[in-house]
Amino acid sequence: MRTFYTDTLIELAEKDPNIVVLEADLMKCHGTIEFKERFPERIFNVGVAEANMIGIAAGFSASGKTPFAATFACFASRRAFDQFFISGNYAKLNIKLVGSDAGITAVYNGGTHMTFEDIGLMRTIPDLIVFEPCDPVSLRKLMLQSAYHKGCTYMRLYRNPVENVYKEDEEFELGKGKVLKDGEDITLIAIGVVLVREALAAAAKLEKKGISAAVI
């Protein structure tokens, strides 16, 4: 997914000179080295200083830029929460915060990096749009929409390669759900790479037991 993340950033930057990218020492992890090769003057590595990254992003936004600021989800939500809440959202700026490796997808980085509370924390911020793409199609299309949404957003990013769930021509609305499967008995609601696939698999098993499950 990080390849599609970087590709979409490049696509945006080619059309919009106000797109800038900020990283907290994770350019290799997020694959944004390619963006640096294309637009070296529009990407900034702040080092292990996530709260400062949000402050810098706020400055860029106040100057008319559209900053995409990325770090691990645990640091985006816990470490930089106050800065994002006040400097970004309270100030009604336009920061696109990206949190990667949330929950069990942190894997090798261990328990300190496995944030399960980031969505809960971010949902307390008024007017913030929180979303988690489940495949490359939804990633690209939701990123394109978020770039032109006036206001802050928080996107969870899964880094590893995954197959598409949606068709290439699927349409999305930022902040809204999509019905993946109709059903009459129960409804399963899921987000992201892991849980959407688990929900679809669960719906298939329930179908064999005579239970019609919708998946959103």
Instruction: Report residue 40 as tokens.
Output: 């070296």
Burial profile 62-95: b = 16 or more Cβ within 10 angstroms, e = fewer? eeebbbbbbbbbbbbbebbbebbbebbbeeebbb
Cα 138 from chain centroid (whole Å): 10
Per the listing, tokens 């200083």 go with 49
- Of 50, 132, 163, 184, the catalytic one is 50
Kind of pairing between the strands at 153-157 and 213-215: unpaired
Is 34 an annotated catalytic residue? Answer: no
Q: Cα-flanking dihedrals φ and ψ of residue 70, to 5°?
A: -125, 140
- Asked if 166 and 177 touch (Cβ cutoff 8 Å), the reply is no
- For residue 173, the one-letter residue type is E
Side chain identity at 160, as an amino acid letter? Answer: N
Could you tell me where the DSSP H helices lie in 115-158? 118-122, 136-147
Closest CA to 69 of 23, 5, 118, 129: 23
List of E strands, the chain = 19-23, 43-45, 66-72, 96-100, 129-131, 153-157, 186-188, 213-215
Residues labelled as active-site residues: 50
